[in-house]
Amino acid sequence: MEPNLSVDFFGKIAASPLVLASGVMGISYSGMLKVVENGCGIITTKSYTVQRRKGHEGPVVAEFNGGFINSMGLSNPGIYEGMKEIADCKKRCDAPIIISLFGVTAAEFTELVRAVDSSIIDAIELNLSCPNVADEYGIPIAASTEKVFEIVSAVKSITKLPVIAKLSPNTYNVPEIALSAEKAGADALTLINTLGPGMIIDINAQKPVILNKFGGISGAAIKPLAVKLIYEISKLVKIPIIGTGGVLTGEDAVEFLLAGAAYVGVGTAVYYNGIDVFAKINAFFSSYLRQNNLASVRDIKPI
């Protein structure tokens, strides 16, 4: 019998536990459709703000031998344009869609949530953790148990959709923040957003590769940190975790499930390994399940 890769996602069936991470191809409906056609089970959109954001001037992405740094500056067309793309995607596929929202205050987040058409969205992810925008953004929210509690509670009080808190690795107290999000009613966590920011210098040009100088680190370099936080936090909270950070291969994805993730996010790997990375990871899941005499991906239990 073919191993079963499908999983429940808040009452919907997803064909695979693989989740497209926010910011990577989740902007146009054609990009979202393409990842689903290539085996991704659940889509996360780019993070939306209320108004359109142009983002930072390029270059905004640079590669090093452990992954990427990026400083996109949350470029996005604004939530209203974003909802149109999602509606077009939803007409053409059944995969669950998580809309990612980015604000700074609870009021900004609730304004965004009010703009979400809950009939076509399956969950809301709160990006509490972007390291790439000016100081009062991102880091203070992600590092404050109070702010995380306030924002998650405010959002929970106005929506019936499942709410996912996406946390940052850039603070010493991530487990405490995770507990605070759960206490505020979060239905799931995404761990982790990018690390840093970090910096890459072009030694020939003798200047930073990224125009904005610094960027969040993603890819293979952050994987052991993601695995550790997923392992630690999955033992503390009862809500499911979308484990994200440095998954490039099927082996990495199985490692995340063994660490305690319920779903596995894939971002930078799409740039590295192409869009068929989802199909390749699914094929590895199937062979791993066969080798271990397991019927379903849900039989891969956390260690």
Ligand X SMILES: Cc1cc2nc3c(=O)[nH]c(=O)nc-3n(C[C@H](O)[C@H](O)[C@H](O)COP(=O)(O)O)c2cc1C
**Residue with the CB atom nearest ligand X in the bound state:** 23
Q: How far is CA 226 from CA 47, 145, 252, in A?
A: 20, 20, 11
Q: How far apart are CA 40 and CA 257, in angstroms?
A: 16
Q: What does the CA dihedral 224, 8, 282, 83 come to, rounded to 10 degrees?
A: -90
Name the residue nearer to ligand X (CB basis): 4 or 228. 228
| Minimum CB distance to ligand X, residue 242 (Å) | 9
Which of 40, 89, 93, 130 is flagged as catalytic? 130
Name the residue nearer to ligand X (CB basis): 38 or 218. 218
The answer to whether 160 touches 187, Cβ cutoff 8 Å, is no
Name the residue nearer to ligand X (CB basis): 27 or 239. 27
The binding site for ligand X (CB under 6 A) comprises 21-24, 46-47, 61, 68, 70, 72, 74, 100, 127, 130, 166, 193-194, 218-219, 222, 244-247, 266-269
| Minimum CB distance to ligand X, residue 256 (Å) | 10
Name the residue nearer to ligand X (CB basis): 7 or 26. 26
Q: How far apart are CA 79 and CA 13, in angstroms?
A: 26
Q: How far apart are CA 243 and CA 110, in angstroms?
A: 25
93 is catalytic: no
Which among 202, 194, 253 has a CA at the least distance from the CA of 221? 194
| Minimum CB distance to ligand X, residue 292 (Å) | 25
| Minimum CB distance to ligand X, residue 61 (Å) | 6
The answer to whether 248 touches 261, Cβ cutoff 8 Å, is no
Active centre residues (catalytic):
130
